[in-house]
Structure 1
């Protein structure tokens, strides 16, 4: 007897958000059924999916769709939210979060497997003059967020307390931040800039994709930084732009951030 297919991972990408609408693309991977001994079964070409999104204020929306899978067993769903509660850095607004659940359905529309991820709806972009001394500014949901503090966070620093002000940026350098750090920053309203660790062997496309799967849905993620990878910088920046087009890839930092 064959087992049922399962969901492998979920990668939400916030394509667009303003006060009227949010557009969310969700990429998900499926794990094909495990065949019984001696039986070889191809993975399904299409799957039935239910999407649920819940807000902390009691908001709920859901929908079902039949979704084709590519040859890597990856499916893609796009859906809209009307008048979304947006995520803001502390001091600029609330830190609204949603729970997104993807459920795999069988032929009778009964649930087989599901996975959930917490997301925030925000748009973070560096301004054109962010590389100029004294003008380190991001646009968050179209409003300028002038950074008063930039804290360099090495692996050993992660257990330190988060700053109290939303006009701070944590630069996660030489390692990928832990899930605990990102969850805390989501709730505290602190922006994080994630560097790609200086590790030529570790900068494979799959390694980058795994981190995007894990981190792209966090509203605190302000972007990716690849400036210190030497000859690898162009390759890694291209991969990041392809895999996560919704976050900026920074190649330079303002001089006053140097530490």
Structure 2
């Protein structure tokens, strides 16, 4: 079983499923800090790029599905690439009570710079690239210590793992399968000023999930850390609306 971190809030709300959080490519799990206390539920973080691999979307979806079964009941929360992994996991297990996808999409069509990013990761791996990717991923200013962690997190990662993940995500299209999720409760959150994903990507994703609601926040690609209070409030509302005591 892959390594995860678990944060349990001091005043856990009874009956609320855990949040199984899946970060984006090269994104420090710090983006999920504070969610446990803000939502009153356990937060389980899957730092998939720190795992030994494989790092393709299908394999990662299978691993996260196993984690969902281990920590069930859960709501999957995926950011960016993590959204693709979360949806892939939801397609593999019935132990998921809902899914939240943040600044992602059903595929990477129209994601104009993915091939350029892959080329830069291959040829320019290092602090300058890490900082550029981190800064492109936010629109609003962050606390200095958080920004520093986002800038430096890729130093702990293997470049080849990042390349495998990005190439696999580029070649993955979930559109033909998302109807299989039926009326699984889903929340699609998107930052209006996202420079990586357009609002059209979010709308397409929401339209592909029969049980989905789309919420647009006034931030960039990483709402959990740019607007943490507003993002947590949307999660609390979503969790409260789940059937069967959610």
Question: If the length of structure 2 is used for normalisation, what is the TM-score?
Answer: 0.28
Whose strand proportion is higher, 1 or 2? 1
Query: Normalized against structure 1, the TM-score is what?
Result: 0.27
| Greater RCO (Cα-Cα under 8 Å, separation 6 or more) | 2
Please say which structure displays the higher CA radius of gyration.
1
Higher helix share: 2
